[in-house]
Amino acid sequence: MKLKKLLVGTLSTAMLISALSVSAVAEEDTKYATGFISWADGIASYYWGDEDKAGVEILPKIDIVGNGTYTINTKVYNAAIDEDSGEEIGGPVKGLAVLAVDLKLIDEKAEWADLYPDARIELDKVEIGGENIEYDLSKLKETASWDETKELSGGTNILESATVLRQNIYNSWGLGGGAFEPDAEKEYETISVTFKVSGLTDAPDVDDQVNAELPDVAPATEAPAETEAQTTEAKTDSTTSNTSSSDTSKADKDEDSKSVLPWVIGGVVVAAVIVAGVIIGVKKKNS
């Protein structure tokens, strides 16, 4: 009888260990939305999502895992095609047509207005080419195409669609203007936007989240006259950077898998060792 109780207790402990391991993995993967920067230079480079992009080396997206502050960084390049070589020109971009922060719900059947009616995106800082941008969000409502029927929870957040909550910063295509006036002659290679997410009901508060670190680049400058040598160098840099970005992205995914797998394997191995030990002990007792 004592051995039976011992076996039952051991099996219960093993099951608890495995359950805790699975629970830890589930908590690691919990996310409510995908945050990303919608961006276009108005010429050839843009990002509307992983399947619709050009001229982007660091993907401008991040998992929204709770209420808190998020920073999305991205490195971009000129994706215009050189007429002679048929390849992307590379190097800095010039111009800005669209810049917005979007939050897309993970559950594609859900709607922001129903699931999180008090959700908010609050801008904290915007940098283009390492230069801090001064903006006035109230100017968004003064643009020619502002639609009050799309507003959610006050402020200047709008529903770009039922599943996408947007904070425009500048949008010459969708609004006819924005919260600041970009310099059409400034060249840049990086964009960084910091914002706060709130109103996600029952979601935890999280520490500051950052999608990726930006490389050191020169501040945004007015475009100089381009020489043939500079064009050739830009192509080489673009090719090298794209290869590096792809390798980094793959390495990050492999690292994420490695960090989660030990929780499950550890729980199962411990459970197996405990159960095996008890069974051996029972066999010895009976023999």
State the pLDDT at residue 218.
Answer: 59
Give the CA-trace dihedral at 6, 10, 13, 15, to 10 degrees: -130
Is residue 61 within 8 Å of residue 98, measured between CB atoms? no
State the pLDDT at residue 28.
Answer: 61
CA atoms of 286 and 219, how far apart (whole Å)? 79
β-pairing, 186-188 vs 221-222, is antiparallel
CA atoms of 145 and 177, how far apart (whole Å)? 9
Looking at residue 152, the DSSP 8-state letter turns out to be: -
pLDDT tens per residue across span 176-231: 999 999 999 999 999 999 999 999 999 999 999 999 999 876 565 655 554 455 44
Nearest to 36 by CA among 74, 62, 70, 75: 62
CA atoms of 94 and 96, how far apart (whole Å)? 7
Instruction: List strands edge to edge, sheet with 221-222.
Output: 93-94, 186-188, 221-222
Ranges in the chain, pLDDT < 50: 3-4, 6-11, 13-14, 16-26, 29, 226-227, 230-287
By three-state DSSP, how is residue 198 classified? strand
H/E element, 262: helix 228-286
State the pLDDT at residue 278.
Answer: 35
State the pLDDT at residue 44.
Answer: 97
State the pLDDT at residue 263.
Answer: 37
CA atoms of 131 and 169, how far apart (whole Å)? 15
β-pairing, 209-210 vs 68-75, is parallel
Domains of the chain, by residue range, sit at 1-30+228-287, 31-224
Q: For the chain, how are helix, strand and coil distributed in percent, rounded to 5? A: 35, 30, 35
By three-state DSSP, how is residue 79 classified? coil
State the pLDDT at residue 153.
Answer: 84
Question: Which backbone phi and psi does 134 adopt, to 5 degrees?
Answer: -90, 130
